[in-house]
Amino acid sequence: MLPRWELSFYLFASLGFHFYSFYEVYKVSREHEEELDQEFDLETGTLFGGLKKDPTDFEWSFWMEWGKQRLVWLLLGHMGVSQVANLLARKHKPWILTAYGMWACWCVLGTQGTAMVLIHTTISFCVAQFRSLFLSWLCSLFLLSTLRLQDVEEVKRGWYQTENEYYLLQFTLTVRCLYYTSFSLELCWQQPPAERTFCSFPWMVAYVFYYPVFHNGPILSFPEFIAQMQQQEQGSPKASLSILALGLGRLLSCWWLAELMTHLMYMHAIYSSTSLLRAVSCWTLGGLALAQVLFFYVKYLVLFGVPALLMRLDGLTPPPLPRCVSTMFSFTGMWRYFDVGLHDFLVRYVYIPAGGSQHGLLGTLFSTAMTFAFVSFWHGGNDYLWCWATLNWLGVTVENGVQRLVQAPRVQDSLAQFLSPQARRRFHAALASCSTSMLILSNLVFLGGNQVGKIYWNRIFIQVVKNPPANAEDMGLSPGLGRSHMLRSN
């Protein structure tokens, strides 16, 4: 363990670099407000003294708009129906929630959208009757690929009056793909007695149409869902009120923080302005990177926090909420702790069936590559997503290789001979800073595209190597990263 004074120094240094870089982003946002307003139509806010709001993060604006329209009322309706079912018809609660989920789906997606979800579910169930993992995966990938066929997209657009309604259907079908895939693969693995009990079509429909996670997740595997839904314990009204009050308090705090960030720092608009992104200082670039990934984290505390709260009120245990990205120092940790439900799905249904780590180094590399290939395809299969997936595959591979090397007995003995425990901590932090720099770059490619990734690569990595800064202040991003890892490695 490092001395307390040293840890305190790293903590305050890390916080100082965070807040100063955020201040630089705030200054650039104010200086270029008129220019960004003309190009991206900044919205006049009412929450923070008339400050304008950056509306260019599509995901946040999309879900907030849908929340104001219908989703919040439908989710409140689910909560009410669930509590009434607990009191009056507990044995039939799964089927009551299934009926409500199908009705709520019809309210927002219409008859055609609801039919599409049912058709995908039915096709997956029928193919799973062959008890072939290969056929079930082939079916899921085929159904997922139909979402990107231009002719099919035009037909679905014709069902709705607005693009937002069409996008809601696309997002819903994309998330539902993981759910009916989970059921189908579990059916392939089950023995006939278990199949007759749980892996039936009614339970599949109950699983797919469970409304809190219907449109955007998080992901809960079928075995977890069925076990928790059938073994619920009766909770007291007092306990439910406590869960509701604490959950609402956390959600409102995270929502307020996310809104504050979009009012103070126009990070998404700046990312959309290539010329401005190339011109800002390295401090501002670092602040934009940190603000972007932290906003993504806070955003998903809200988007996953709402269904997680409703699941707790239903007596279910949701996947853990994302861990703060400022505490992440490895690709492996990012995948393991940010979207836990998706990580568990990938490990259970992609990585392990592809061979996992049971077939040597080449088998591990192949299984990991298949996992990231599926993630990229599931997210949309765009060029920047393949680049992002490749960076993550390389990052995980290098981290595992270095970890195996460092854990070798000879290396361990050498480190113990020449380095004290405190020095080994600092050495670990130095290695982690390299990994985290690449992790942030890969996340920026995911959030901003290849163009944003190229700008950061050229300005932070290439230019800094060719023209080293005269002092630490000119480096912007690097000092804060290096010091913060001393804390995280402890």
Catalytic residue numbers read 379
Residue 416, class by beta-carbon neighbours within 10 Å (0-12 exposed, 13-18 middle, 19+ buried)?
exposed
In 3-state terms, what secondary structure has residue 52? Answer: strand
d(CA 235, CA 226): 18
What is the separation of C-alpha 405 from the centre of its chain, rounded to a whole number of angstroms? 30
Task: Based on DSSP, count helices (H) and strands (E) in the chain, helices before strands.
Answer: 24, 2
**How does DSSP classify residue 92?**
G
Locus of tokens 């982003």: 25
The answer to whether 290 and 22 are in contact (CB under 8 A) is yes
The answer to whether 403 and 252 are in contact (CB under 8 A) is no
**DSSP alpha helices (H): ranges in 380-488?**
383-406, 409-418, 421-448, 450-456, 463-466, 478-488
Strand-pair category, 43-44 with 52-53 = antiparallel
The answer to whether 183 and 124 are in contact (CB under 8 A) is yes
d(CA 75, CA 8): 43
Amino acid code (one letter) for 74 = L
Residue 202: asked if its preceding bond is cis (omega within 30°), the reply is no
Dihedral angle of Cα 424, 430, 434, 436, to the nearest 10 degrees? 90
For residue 53, list its beta bridge partners. Answer: 43
